Amino acid sequence: MKFLVKVISLVGLLFIAACSSNEPAMEEGGPDYSVTYDLHITGGTIVDGSGEASFVGDILVNGDMIAYVGSVDTSKIQVNQTLDATGKVVSPGFIDAHSHGNPLREDNDYLRNFLRQGITTVVLGQDGTSPGYFPSDGDEQGSYNYTKWIEEVNAQGTGPNVATLIGHGSIRHQSGGGEKDQVSPEEQRRMEEILADAMMAGAYGLNTGLEYVPGRYASPEEMAGLAKVVGAHDGLISSHIRNEDDDQVHASIAELIEQGKYARVNASHIKVVYGKTREQGDAVLRQLREARANGIEVTADVYPYLASFGDMSYLYPEWAKREYEFNEAVENRLEEFREFLRAKIIRRNGPGAILVSSGEYSGKTVAEISEITGKAPEDVIIDYGHSGPSTAHFIMTKETQDAFITAPDVSISTDGSPTMRHPRSFGSFPKVIEEYVVRDGVMSLELAINKMTGQTAKIFDIQSRGLLKEGMGADIVVMDLENVKAGTTWTDIFAQPTGFDYVIVNGHVTDTAPNSSEPTYGRVLLKTQGD
């Protein structure tokens, strides 16, 4: 009952805002009643993605574009399809600032897991990897072709639209630099050439994974050279920064800000590992805001969960990160390796805070596996081999992360994929609405939607998405606020979110059901073509 009262109160506030707010600028002149429109969304509370007050109104769509937003005389309008949004919220389709997956892979189901969250555009190419780049499929330096990947995605289709970033680690491999401690001048030149070509072909910028191999070996000079290329093409660097630990995060943000002298920069899935207080999050936000006040265009995104996801390599010492180093450590420095891992596991909240998500013991923690096998936790980890299985690491606290989740200048992401065994893959966006807007009331709906749409579009310079406005792409979500639920939990990871009545991509109502046989309507957005 308490929850229902909160929802009713929120809807009431939206109604009051609608009555008191000014009509949107697009109201001037009214719609063209001589035109037959493809789609009419009528009677909804429109949250337009700008952060401004919501209002009750209608939306008209022709083809893949929004033709009108405002009041419509339904007795005069001619339409092919009408959606009644009375009592519902209408917003731009959400934009996921940090996504993983490949619509060309059969097990990725055209990325429909994102559609079910109301996400109509995903940003692929993250953590140092280019979209669709899998060195294990062939020659690292010759098998990957960015423009061919785009062509294949557009030919096959994708559920949400896709914007792309080029991966620093990928182009390091393609240039011949690979996992070297330092790239040669020729390899640096080749990296910059590959990056420039990709940006001219439509990429929105560069992504880095400086905590991972090979990104962790990139020097300031290497990154400055690439940043200059990104800046020359008015792009963005979105970075998994070098170290997110509480005693290293500020230095890592400072490194990103240094790159921001040459190009716009964004801190991916921002967090304070081992953070315990709100002030630790606020301190990082102050660092970002002070940099902006000094002329650096720096932003951040965040997902609303307290566990990261990756493999066992987070736990290794610097001298065991590369595969050959790991093997040498096991062979020649085993006791030292074990001692390091014991301390690291304790630092990361113990073996019960490391959840294995693939393989024989999927769904069990390292503590549970240790008990089953009779092996010490550090030996469980070593015995898995270099990369080990996919793992979730519970190394954040709500107190710290809420500073980012509720901040008006941090956008929302999932850091999820269609196959990742993490609730963030399936519930990040509805979780923000369900918990932070409706349940706790710590964010207005207008702010939350802005953090999911208009703000993200501005960060990545996706010019045709993010706002409900005449001339914008017709990516639209109609949601029943009372029923927006994330659904997914750590015990039911693949549960489906609810409350998204209609998800519209490029003007088409799309079927978001898993493994649907209905058409998909997404495409690759290209920066060079204005999306």
**Does 289 share its domain with 324?**
no
CB distance 24 to 48 below 8 Å: yes
Average pLDDT score over residue span 21-26: 40
pLDDT at 385 over 80: yes
Q: What is the pLDDT of residue 142?
A: 63
- Taking only the tens place, the pLDDT of each residue in 419-442 is 999 999 999 999 999 999 999 999
pLDDT at 352 over 80: yes
Average pLDDT score over residue span 430-459: 98
CB distance 117 to 429 below 8 Å: yes
**Does 73 share its domain with 104?**
no
Helix (H, G, I), strand (E, B) or coil at 273: strand
Average pLDDT score over residue span 223-242: 98
pLDDT at 496 over 70: yes
**Does 156 share its domain with 267?**
yes
- Taking only the tens place, the pLDDT of each residue in 52-88 is 999 999 999 999 999 999 999 999 999 999 999 999 9
Q: What is the pLDDT of residue 10?
A: 44
Average pLDDT score over residue span 409-427: 97
> Does any domain span residue 515?
no
Q: Residue 367: pLDDT band by 50, 70, 90 thresholds?
A: very high
Q: Is the pTM of this model over 0.75?
A: yes
Average pLDDT score over residue span 4-19: 39
> Does any domain span residue 469?
no
Q: What is the pLDDT of residue 530?
A: 74
Q: Residue 30: pLDDT band by 50, 70, 90 thresholds?
A: confident
**Does 88 share its domain with 215?**
no
Beta strands in 244-390 (DSSP E): 264-267, 298-302, 307-310, 354-356
CB distance 102 to 137 below 8 Å: no
- Taking only the tens place, the pLDDT of each residue in 106-163 is 999 999 999 999 999 999 999 999 999 976 555 455 678 999 999 999 999 999 999 9
Can you tell me the distance from the alpha carbon of 254 to that of 251, in angstroms, rounded to the nearest whole number?
Answer: 5
More confident residue, 28 or 449: 449
**Does 14 share its domain with 100?**
no
Tell me which residue has tokens 């490029």: 506
**Does 150 share its domain with 18?**
no
Query: Which of 392, 419, 439 finishes a domain?
Result: 392
Q: What is the pLDDT of residue 137?
A: 54
% the chain with pLDDT above 70: 93
> Does any domain span residue 467?
no
> Does any domain span residue 290?
yes
**Does 212 share its domain with 118?**
yes
Q: Residue 26: pLDDT band by 50, 70, 90 thresholds?
A: very low
pLDDT at 495 over 60: yes
More confident residue, 16 or 142: 142
**Does 212 share its domain with 266?**
yes
> Does any domain span residue 493?
no
Q: What is the pLDDT of residue 23?
A: 41
Which two three-digit tokens encode residue 363?
């769904």
pLDDT at 14 over 50: no
**Does 108 share its domain with 66?**
no
Q: What is the pLDDT of residue 390?
A: 93
> Does any domain span residue 476?
no
Q: What is the pLDDT of residue 387?
A: 87
Average pLDDT score over residue span 14-19: 38
Q: What is the pLDDT of residue 141?
A: 52
Q: What is the pLDDT of residue 531?
A: 76
Query: Which of 92, 127, 146 finishes a domain?
Result: 92
Q: What is the DSSP string of 374-418?
A: ---HHHHHHHT-SS-S-EEEE---HHHHHHHHT-TT-EE---B-S
Average pLDDT score over residue span 405-429: 97
What domain count does the chain have? 3
CB distance 284 to 250 below 8 Å: yes
What CATH number did the domain enclosing 277 receive?
3.20.20.140
Q: What is the pLDDT of residue 28?
A: 53
Q: Residue 3: pLDDT band by 50, 70, 90 thresholds?
A: very low
Would you tell me how many other CB atoms lie within 10 Å of the CB of residue 307?
18
**Does 71 share its domain with 196?**
no
**Does 53 share its domain with 119?**
no
Query: Which of 462, 482, 503 finishes a domain?
Result: 462
* DSSP type of residue 439: I
> Does any domain span residue 104?
yes
> Does any domain span residue 483?
no
Q: Residue 2: pLDDT band by 50, 70, 90 thresholds?
A: very low
**Does 292 share its domain with 430?**
yes
Closest CA to 92 of 36, 35, 49: 49
What CATH number did the domain enclosing 37 receive?
2.30.40.10
Q: What is the pLDDT of residue 19?
A: 37
Domain limits for position 72 = 2-92
